[in-house]
Amino acid sequence: MDIKVPAVGESVYEAVIARWLKKAGDVVAKDEPLCEIETDKITLEVTSEADGVLSITAAEGETVKIGAVIGSIDARGPGAEPAKQGADAAAAAKPEVKPEAKPEAKPEAKPEAKPEAKPEAKPEAKPEAKPGAAAPMSPSGRKLARELGVEPADVQGSGRGGRITNADLIKAQGTRQEVAEPVKAPAASVPPAPPAAAPKPAQEPADALGRVVRKPMSQIRKRIAERLVSVRQHTAMLTTFNEVDMSEVINLRKKHGDHFQTRHNVKLGFMSLFVRACCAALQEFPEVNGSIEGDDIVYHNYCDIGIAVGGERGLVVPVLRGAEKLSLAQIEQAIADFAEKVRSNRIALSDLEGGTFTISNGGIYGSMLSTPILNPPQSGVLGMHNIQDRAVVVDGQVVVRPMMYLALSYDHRIVDGKGAVGFLKRVKEYIEDPEEMLLEC
């Protein structure tokens, strides 16, 4: 049974084999994960469709087309055993014929091959350890060799591909007089390709000192880079800022948090309140919830809110569909589910498609203030930041309040400054007086 790259979306045409979870020849069970494939949008697991033995035809890191065969499962059944026994019996019969053909060659080959091979093999084995031709080394290594007075051609490299490291040069400096004499004499007979070229393959090439590590860019990271550059080139992005007093929201969580978790089995976080505040504000400022298609502006009468979630392979933005109709508990549960899917690489392409507005919470990483970047074709993205106690003036008095900076990046082609500032001010008002927002729902 062939293992094929599954279709993950209409706009995805190829994928990269991120890693194989099983090795060739392993016995696998039905529905057991075999490998992870990575597209420019998501990473997902390919599972076995039957019990059997795994064969692999596409290596890790290889780019394959959607629908391409990357391996196969040899089904194991009652009929497989006799076939294998018959094959073993046929294989066992072959060695009986070979002994008759070999005796004729052996008496002639042995006297000539043995005396010549043995005396030459031993002296040649030593020069191969230190070939006459200089092994590859870094510029800093060549400089160190000159300072130590060591001839690179006399040093056996222990690095990747026979590369000479600084440690090899320092070690050779103490023994160069003993090592140089036996190496130089037979240098002419040394084969051009030293056997030291076959050390363990490394996926992450590095220089002699390990200061630089080079890794291929993942498909997701490539896609993120392309989109971010595209936003800068094709939108008139601008950012406006405000700050919000989080006192009322914090008191609300303290007062009702335990009951909320007991009733709904999920914690009451800040994100659900900001989603609710944004949905209410988007209804008042529909241009922030719109997008450009050709020469038209498309206004959405619904709120599909994207929630930026950071994962090991990059940032993804799953979408809360119809967020304006969801309760706080439904929003919190959906966000928790998305976070778990991202951690376990189970996020689906359908979870990421669409979206009319995005919220990104850099505060969970300690960000004080930043400029969020648009998620095209959306025209707005709200950035939340860290909550810090700061001195502010309230009713003519200097008081300490938990404050958060908010940032709204918007596409100035659709959204004017007045609309952007008005939207952000409305979100601030809803957060500072959440009862008004909750009573309207």
Tokens encoding 92: 């066992």
The one-letter amino acid at 182: P
Classify residue 360 as exposed, middle or buried by CB count within 10 Å of its CB (0-12, 13-18, 19+): buried
16 Cβ partners below 8 Å, 6+ apart? Answer: 37, 38, 39, 61, 62, 63, 64, 218, 219
Q: Are 304 and 323 in contact (CB under 8 A)?
A: yes
Using CA atoms, how far apart are residues 346 and 42, in angstroms rounded to an integer?
A: 9
Q: Are 374 and 364 in contact (CB under 8 A)?
A: no
> Could you list the active site residues?
412, 416
Tokens encoding 33: 């994960």
Contacts for 196-200: CB closer than 8 Å, 24+ residues apart: 196/128, 196/129, 196/131, 196/135, 196/156, 196/157, 196/162, 197/161, 197/162, 199/160, 199/161, 199/162
- Going from the C-alpha of 155 to that of each of 199, 209, 347, the distances in angstroms are 16, 17, 51
- For 407-439, give one letter per residue: b (16+ CB within 10 A) or e: bbbbbeebbeeebbbbbbbbbbbbbeebeebee
